[in-house]
Amino acid sequence: MIFKSLLRACLACLFLSLCTPAFAQADSKALLDSLADANFKQAEEIVGQLAASGDPRVVPALEAFAEGDLYARKSDDAVFITQAAGSKLALIDPLSGESAGEVAKGAMSKIRVNNNLRRVIRSALGGLTLLSPDRNTRLQAASAVLASPSAENLDLVEAALERETDPEVKARMVEARAVSLLSSDRPPEAKREAIETIASLGGRNAIGILMSSAGTLDPSLQEDLDAAIARLESKLAFWDMAQNVWYGVSLGSVLLLAAIGLAITFGVMGIINMAHGEMVMLGAYSTFVVQDVIRSNAPQLFDWSLPIALPVAFLVTALVGLAIERGVIRFLYGRPLETLLATWGISLILQQAIRSIFGPTNQEVGNPSWMSGSFALGGMTVTWNRMWIIVFSLTIFFALLALMKRSAFGLQMRAVTQNRRMASSMGIRTPWVDAFTFALGSGIAGIAGVALSQIDNVSPNLGQSYIIDSFMVVVFGGVGNLWGTLVGALTLGVLNKFLEPSVGAVLGKILVLVLIILFIQKRPRGLFALKGRAVEA
Amino acid sequence: MITGFIFRALDGKIVAAIGILLAAGILVPALNLLVPPDSAFHIPTYAMSLMGKYLCYALLALALDLVWGYCGILSLGHGAFFALGGYAMGMYLMRQIGSRGVYGNPLLPDFMVFLNWQELPWFWYGFDMFPFAMLMVLVVPGLLAFLFGWFAFRSRVNGVYLSIITQAMTYALMLAFFRNDMGFGGNNGLTDYKDILGFSVQADGTRAVLFALSALMLSLCLLIASAIVRSKFGKVLVGVRDAESRVRFLGFRVENIKLFTFVVSAMMAGIAGALFVPQVGIINPGEFAPANSIEVVVWTAVGGRGTLIGPIIGAILVNAGKSFFTGAFPEFWLYALGGLFIAVTLFLPKGIVGTIQHGWNGRKAMKAAADREKGRDDTVLPQAAE
Amino acid sequence: MAKIAETRSKSLLYLDGVSVSFDGFKALNSLSFVVEPGELRAIIGPNGAGKTTMMDIITGKTRPDSGTVLFEDSIDLTKRDEADIAQLGIGRKFQKPTVFESHTVWDNLELALNRSRGVFATLFYRLSGEDRDRIEEILSTIRLTHRKTELAANLSHGQKQWLEIGMLLAQEPKLLLVDEPVAGMTDAETAETAILLRDIARTRSVVVVEHDMGFIRDLGVKVTCLAEGSVLAEGSIDFVSNDPKVIENYLGR
């Protein structure tokens, strides 16, 4: 056994020493040309030999072969890479990459390729590029071997591994080696190690590799294999769970954003503002307008468009909110059902106004560069926009909490909502506190709109899709309690995402609605209800 | 007992309203069927169906008024009961298509064949029988209202909370009915009806009968609502609206009172939906949309909640306005509707009929006060007069 | 032991060790309180002493955290709801007069009349001669005969208080709980109300919560003073108003 592996190592060294360009050139050329009249079986062998040659110059030819762009000239069986050029074919020398003129299609015959052959080509390519002087090419090649393991690559991988100095590439090659080793005829000890290495990779892919080698391995390894698979699966289940929680928190943060303004207008002031969703929508359209202005006047500022849009959206919606409170709602205090109807009317008007100005279609709101892309965290993927929205919604939440608890305005606001007459007799101008509180709630809805424009379609109907959810969050969390809104939003978000995989998105949402309806029967005042006589008045 | 119950319902305004409705129920179909099309008095079938639709909406508004105007429960989910009644009728009409569908399946409606279903789901059984389907028009909305109300009223969910969860209820139903696997035709709903009780739904005669039936059912429900409202029960109902805890401390079971009213109202909404579907020719999940239910509220508010005639007038006026505006200035309709919501709550909280009645009552009260000062205190009670 | 059993068997209303708290605030702290049949009892006490909470517990609006509440010695009121308790024969007048403002005075009394209160019974109810006589009788008791066809909304504040008392009478309760019946009344009205309540107490038990010491003196009955959720003193008005604890907690302030 040991002798055998020694021999393999020697052979690998031999390959490498053979890789002198002059020697390989003639060889590679001949091998390529021999493809012209090879059948699939022979072609596989030739590709194997090309791979074994270690000559990196055959890479383009092999790639063209896999794509079906490799043709043989009928007259002399010379093989070329081709490109369609009108009715003719442009010829490219397979090794040098130089142009070799154009010929009519009839003069060439295509070297046929099938899926089996393609797989062989891919693994050959993986092996070949392992030795490339370019670090990124080597990394890609190692990943390619990892993705389609084959025992044939083993020697090459090991040879490459020996020469490798870059730690990242090296780590990837170790994994690639382990994967290839599993299907080779190496001794069980080596394979046991390989199983460990693969298991440490994690993910569904590793399970797949281990599963596929289940029957082919020495029986003594079966136990290790099963244990490794079980370990991987439990880890996977954990990350699945973590990913679900993450999605849930992410949805929860969206709900929180939508509901947080409502927690002020409905929760604190007791105003049923059915136009709340339209405030969110106005915030999103403010973002669109800001981006539009930036695009046409100062495109270099585009990454700053969201920070610029925030105060704009806040001001716009706060002003609209102020106008609504002064113009309509203040006449309806103490008549919640009438307020509900009037604000519904306002929401219809706002929707139609936006539709008249911007048209009924979705508006394009772009993501700044720092909002795009994603990163991996352990076994789960985290997109930057979701990440920032969670951070953003929590920031708003705590800022609002601080404003309510610490500032003079917050004190006045609480005083007015708790005892209007007493507050007014202490010199607080209650009408203005009402107006500004409502404007604040609306402004926050506008800010939420800026964030939601990043993940949702910006259309006149944007608000409608959030209004019921927002009310559910506030009612579920407990009216008049900001913490309740936070807990309510996150609970509903996570609950939704955990129901989704088993029952589907729509049914999940329906179930959540039904659960909330039942919950309200049980605790009509929500999760964090205020108790006592005062509440019932 | 029953006669007394019904007799009490008949005050002057109700008699007049029922008279007008029944007259319309005879006159409009007559003008459609008997008057030649080139006559100035001819009413085209589309116009008759449109008016029939208004009558269904009027019945829906009346149903809502019973719970909102008299009991103080603002339901933002009455569209759900309407739609359920409509679906029950739609299912009957679908079963009547039989093998005349596109796929020619004698048992399964087209959309089920399209979804590759092999057999009829259990909840579609029996809908080929008209009496059963009509029973379901009442039972399904009534049962939903009963279950929903049973939980909600017992745990004393009140005011805006109740409104919000009724809205969530219709929203959840809308999402559910949009799903294909619910077995109600998904997105497209139920449509392409052929005939009802053997008569083509497209025929002028059938349309005329449907219109007359709408007028008749509206009259009947108006009579029942009036009888309820004028009974001692109706007075308790208003008591619940104005001072719920007083009613409770007088020993009434408020939850039962609300539940009964809610269920009766849901059934009326179901009847409205069932009459609506054959006249419009389609029922789809859009009828469950929360916006629809809120629109019903504004009809009721415009006409005058807490009056029985008001919602009928409101529903007809607003919908006639809607037909006009969406035809003439489609952009303008939502502004008008939105403005109507605001104007009615700010300037006309009693609605049209309520405001007129208030003015009239105000004059009567002033006269009574003047009479009293002259020492002619009238001691005749309305109850005693019976 | 024997003595407690004796008071219980005689009592109409029996509260023992009743406690309830809202968010940590103890509204009632081991309150014990007995009302005998046919008794007129006045309750005084500073704001927040637990007077209204006690009424809430007796009428089933609030559930106590611990303690016993018995009616007629056998019925556990903590297991019943408001409608049940009202039907058992406990009537309650709220602090703020609560009548059905959009009904006439007559209709208010008709609704309160102690008849079957089921959905169908009320749907098919017809006013009988007997019921009419009873309403007329109550109308004259509460001095509102001349305004019977008017909407309750048009009554004066004092008249609304009386109408509410009249509704309680129509309910024919065994026990009447009356919360601040003379708040906002003129002196003449107050004196008349005292007469009215004494009248009523001839046929049933009445518990009156009131701040107006003059009114309580007019009633001339046993007084219970509550403070911080439990009984501070009990006895005649002179006895109670001379109790140093009562003076410190209530009268002296």
Tokens of A72: 């043989």
Task: Write down the mean pLDDT value for chain B.
Answer: 89
With contacts defined as CB-CB under 8 Å, which chain A residues touch C27? 533
Tokens of C155: 């009554």
Taking residue B23's Cβ as centre, other Cβ atoms within 10 Å add up to 11
Same domain? For A245 and A181 the reply is: no
Looking at per-residue confidence, does A281 or A211 come out higher? A281
Same domain? For A12 and A73 the reply is: yes
**Residue to substitute from B150, B232, B265, B305, interface C, most C β-carbons within 10 A:** B232
Which residue range forms the structural domain that includes residue A128?
A: 2-212
With contacts defined as CB-CB under 8 Å, which chain C residues touch A532? 22-23, 25
Looking at residue B39, its amino acid is S
pLDDT tens, position by position, C80-108: 988 999 999 999 988 888 899 999 999 99
Chains A, C: CB pairs < 8 Å: 11
With contacts defined as CB-CB under 8 Å, which chain C residues touch B254? 83
Residue A340 lies in a domain: yes
Same domain? For A263 and A131 the reply is: no
Tokens of B210: 């449907």
* Dihedral angle over CA of B173, B175, B178, B180, nearest 10: -90
**Residue to substitute from A481, A528, A531, interface C, most C β-carbons within 10 A:** A531
Supply the pLDDT for residue C251: 67
- Enumerate the β-bridge partners of residue C26: C21
- Rounded to the nearest 10 degrees, the angle between the axes of helix C157-170 and helix C129-141 is 140
Mean pLDDT of A320-334: 92
pLDDT tens, position by position, A12-22: 444 444 444 44
- pLDDT of residue B386 exceeding 50, the answer is no
Supply the pLDDT for residue B247: 93
CA distance A428 to chain B (A): 27
Taking residue C87's Cβ as centre, other Cβ atoms within 10 Å add up to 18
Helices (H), A36-108: 40-53, 59-67
Touching chains, A (3+ CB pairs < 8 A): B, C
Query: Taking a C-beta distance cutoff of 8 angstroms, is the pair B338, A349 a contact?
Result: yes
The highest-confidence range among A43-47, A412-416, B57-61, C119-123, by mean pLDDT, is B57-61
Supply the pLDDT for residue A530: 55
Supply the pLDDT for residue C8: 53
A57 — pLDDT class (breaks 50, 70, 90): confident
- Enumerate the β-bridge partners of residue A376: A381
Q: What residues contact residue A151 under an 8 Å CB cut-off, 6+ apart?
A: A180, A181, A183, A184, A185
Mean pLDDT of A76-100: 82
Looking at per-residue confidence, does B90 or C238 come out higher? B90
The highest-confidence range among A156-170, A519-533, B116-130, by mean pLDDT, is B116-130
Supply the pLDDT for residue C2: 44
pLDDT tens, position by position, C55-83: 999 998 888 999 999 998 888 998 898 89
CA distance C8 to chain A (A): 30
Residue A235 lies in a domain: no
- pLDDT of residue B98 exceeding 50, the answer is yes
Q: Distance between CA A158 and CA A125 in Å, rounded?
A: 16
Residue A94 lies in a domain: yes
In this structure, of A30-39, B52-61, C35-44, the range with the lowest mean pLDDT score is: A30-39
- pLDDT of residue A202 exceeding 80, the answer is no
- Residues, chain B, total? 386
Q: Which helix (H) or strand (E) holds C225?
A: strand C222-227
- pLDDT of residue A127 exceeding 50, the answer is yes
Mean pLDDT of A379-388: 84
In this structure, of A192-201, B9-18, B101-110, B114-123, the range with the lowest mean pLDDT score is: A192-201
C7 — pLDDT class (breaks 50, 70, 90): low
Same domain? For A207 and A347 the reply is: no
Tokens of B372: 């009293």
Mean pLDDT of B113-139: 93
Residue A233 lies in a domain: no
CA distance A436 to chain B (A): 21
Touching chains, C (3+ CB pairs < 8 A): A, B
Supply the pLDDT for residue A89: 82
Query: Taking a C-beta distance cutoff of 8 angstroms, is the pair C77, C85 a contact?
Result: yes
Searching chain B, which residue's CA lies closest to the CA of residue A351? B334
The domains of chain B, with CATH numbers, are 2-349 (1.10.3470)
Residue C86 has its nearest CB partner, among B5, B249, B386, at B249
Mean pLDDT of A366-383: 82
Searching chain C, which residue's CA lies closest to the CA of residue A528? C23
- pLDDT of residue A383 exceeding 80, the answer is yes
Looking at residue A442, its amino acid is S
Task: Spell C5-28 as b/e; 16+ CB within 10 A means b.
Answer: eeeeeebbbbbbebbbbeeeeebb
Share of chain B above pLDDT 70, in %: 94
Looking at residue A477, its amino acid is G
Mean pLDDT of A150-172: 77
Residue A475 sits in a domain of what CATH number?
Answer: 1.10.3470
Pick from A172, A176, A186, A135: nearest CA to A156? A176
pLDDT tens, position by position, B303-318: 999 999 999 999 999 9
Looking at per-residue confidence, does A275 or B3 come out higher? A275
Residue B381 has its nearest CB partner, among C98, C106, C154, at C106
Mean pLDDT of B138-158: 92
Supply the pLDDT for residue A534: 40
CA distance C54 to chain A (A): 12
Searching chain A, which residue's CA lies closest to the CA of residue C25? A532
Test C52 with A533 for CB contact under 8 angstroms: yes
Residue A225 lies in a domain: no
- Enumerate the β-bridge partners of residue C157: none
Mean pLDDT of C2-15: 66
Query: Taking a C-beta distance cutoff of 8 angstroms, is the pair A345, A276 a contact?
Result: no
Test C100 with B233 for CB contact under 8 angstroms: no
What does DSSP say about strands A99-104 and C222-227: parallel, antiparallel, or unpaired?
unpaired
Same domain? For A180 and A253 the reply is: no
Same domain? For A250 and A137 the reply is: no
Q: Which long-range contacts (CB under 8 A, 24 or more apart) does A200-208 make?
A: A201/A175, A202/A232, A202/A235, A202/A236, A202/A379, A203/A232, A203/A236, A203/A379, A204/A236, A205/A147, A206/A232, A207/A232, A207/A233, A207/A236
- pLDDT of residue B146 exceeding 90, the answer is yes
User: What distance, in Å, lies between the first and last C-alpha atoms of chain C?
Assistant: 38
With contacts defined as CB-CB under 8 Å, which chain C residues touch A530? 23
Same domain? For A251 and A334 the reply is: yes
Q: What are phi and psi of A482, to 5 degrees?
A: -65, -40
Q: Distance between CA A455 and CA C21 in Å, rounded?
A: 47
Tokens of A97: 């990459």
Q: Distance between CA A382 and CA A294 in Å, rounded?
A: 29
C244 — pLDDT class (breaks 50, 70, 90): confident
Pick from B212, B197, B293, B188: nearest CA to B49? B212
Same domain? For A331 and A405 the reply is: yes
Taking residue B284's Cβ as centre, other Cβ atoms within 10 Å add up to 20
Scan for tokens 């730690």, then name that residue. Answer: A167
Residue C42: DSSP 8-state: E
Same domain? For A199 and A278 the reply is: no
C-alpha count within 13 angstroms, C-beta hemisphere, residue A155 = 21
A4 — pLDDT class (breaks 50, 70, 90): low
- pLDDT of residue A536 exceeding 60, the answer is no
**Residue to substitute from B228, B236, B249, interface C, most C β-carbons within 10 A:** B249
With contacts defined as CB-CB under 8 Å, which chain B residues touch C100? 235, 238-239, 242-243, 246
- Enumerate the β-bridge partners of residue A71: A80, A110
Same domain? For A26 and A123 the reply is: yes
CA B282 distance to own-chain centroid = 17
Phi-psi region of B211 (alpha: psi -120 to 50; beta: other; left: phi over 0): alpha
With contacts defined as CB-CB under 8 Å, which chain A residues touch C52? 533
Supply the pLDDT for residue A469: 86
If one counts the domains in chain A, the total is 2
Q: Distance between CA B261 and CA A199 in Å, rounded?
A: 66
Burial class of B75 by CB neighbour count within 10 A (0 to 12, 13 to 18, 19+)? buried
Residue A223 lies in a domain: no
Same domain? For A132 and A263 the reply is: no
pLDDT tens, position by position, A419-433: 778 888 888 888 888
Supply the pLDDT for residue A98: 82
pLDDT tens, position by position, B159-197: 888 898 899 899 999 999 999 888 899 999 999 999 999
C246 — pLDDT class (breaks 50, 70, 90): confident
Q: List residues in chain A touching C: CB distance below 8 A.
A: 530-533
Supply the pLDDT for residue B252: 94
Residue A222 lies in a domain: no
Pick from A77, A27, A82: nearest CA to A51? A27
Task: Spell B143-179 as b/e; 16+ CB within 10 A means b.
Answer: ebbbebbbbbbbebbeebbbbbbbbbbbbbbbbbbbb
- Enumerate the β-bridge partners of residue C178: C93, C208
Share of chain C above pLDDT 70, in %: 95
Pick from C45, C58, C54: nearest CA to C175? C58
- pLDDT of residue A212 exceeding 80, the answer is no
Residue B248 has its nearest CB partner, among C83, C91, C148, at C83
Q: What is the pTM of this model?
A: 0.81
C9 — pLDDT class (breaks 50, 70, 90): low
Residue A224 lies in a domain: no
Q: Distance between CA A27 and CA A48 in Å, rounded?
A: 13
- pLDDT of residue A35 exceeding 50, the answer is yes
Looking at per-residue confidence, does B223 or C116 come out higher? B223
With contacts defined as CB-CB under 8 Å, which chain A residues touch B168? 468, 471-472, 513, 516-517
Same domain? For A134 and A184 the reply is: yes
Supply the pLDDT for residue B369: 65
Supply the pLDDT for residue A24: 47
